[in-house]
Structure 1
């Protein structure tokens, strides 16, 4: 952060996980930067807590509500538009919704209702509603109304998440695989190539459409939730920056006004001495391995 700001970058918002040490650093060293929590990390942690509660026999209904409650957290943050009070009010409404109560009065006498459309009788029958005097509801309420979570929601109203950063890290592995060593110069230039590719596609790639103009989706089975989910299908990935880069390199090389004083042989990067494999022990003789081979069948 200090290096970026020293280079003249105006940082307005910083999104991290809910680490207390990072909160202290941001509060003391960067008081003028808005510190927000990554929604994905918060939702992931809340999902784990619900799944842990749902393992008990008396709380099996919590497991059935896990996906809906986590989705509600995303919805509450996405629709708060920076209003912390609206975020907290919308988030707490889940304690009424799970009991099939969609209109209620709060402690201040204000009327509230769920944001969804009225449920039909058939839709209400499909749901496993909770009872307010049940142990499962008390356990769920303790998670939803947790004081630390409600306090942390002060830093979730801007709806910041690190999804695009995770996409870049995935693309970075194409140029910088973790199982291979590079020199510092080679690592830096490969990182630059990954940045060029990421910037080209993060701007151009949109959701693909069918011949009739309808947005395209793909059905994918999620092993974690054990359900089929829809994922957007985007336009094809492009690497046009490579052609542009090669053309600029060739144009520069052919420019008679540019004199290259450094010999080409000196530009070769030293190759690191790498082992043929990642095994920590030497490979035994093949004949000895065959003689001691035993099949489990």
Structure 2
């Protein structure tokens, strides 16, 4: 099965944040599901996502790439590593992330194309929540529910005041506690709680990624189309990124090499990419999302 170069690059590229904002003090994980094709209601796009938190804002992004990076590191550091990486694809990492800045009342969407990040300033989302009064326990936290209609969908969210963050998954926020679970009333968009962790390293910030390029949605669309038409040419056109990536004729194998230089650095951080001889990617037979999207998350502007 053939996979795009963007997926391979996503696996090999580490996410790093700027240090302009206050450090993140916690993160909440979600299992994200989206029935993107209304003709196949039993199939859905799946992703592990995470929201980094502090009292001033939140950064929601895919965590599936991080999991794949961890698997790459585990295999490469194993005593029996022979140069061949094997990854099973069980999710579809989203290319969009969202930074909510409550102090400045603004939101920024970050769209990833290969290893490049593009920032698109957008209006700050707001939701008018109605408290419903029901209670239940999620992940050991006492939660209560609330309802809102946003972007054409009605969402039921479960939040806990035991975690005093007024944020949650995606663009949902504004409740007097952290949203642990949110889903629309048709169960077509689901953010299910998958864990909460404190962050004490002082290195992870609620901020835009490093070297992000601020632009417009129209320009990003052109860039995405150019990359889709010719990934290799796109990568060669990126100045300062000293790497060569080729996809083998078998479709599911890529040979990844990185040349020396001070440009982009190693795409796998401290790991030595020269040790990688081949990259085999298989797909979980149980994960078969539709390639057609006629049921977007946002049904209205």
Query: TM over 0.5: same fold?
Result: no
1 or 2 for the larger relative contact order (CA 8 Å, sep ≥6)? 2
Q: TM-score, normalised by structure 1?
A: 0.21
Structure with greater proportional helix content: 1
Structure holding more strand per residue? 2
Structure number with bigger Rg: 1
Q: How high is the TM-score relative to the length of structure 2?
A: 0.21
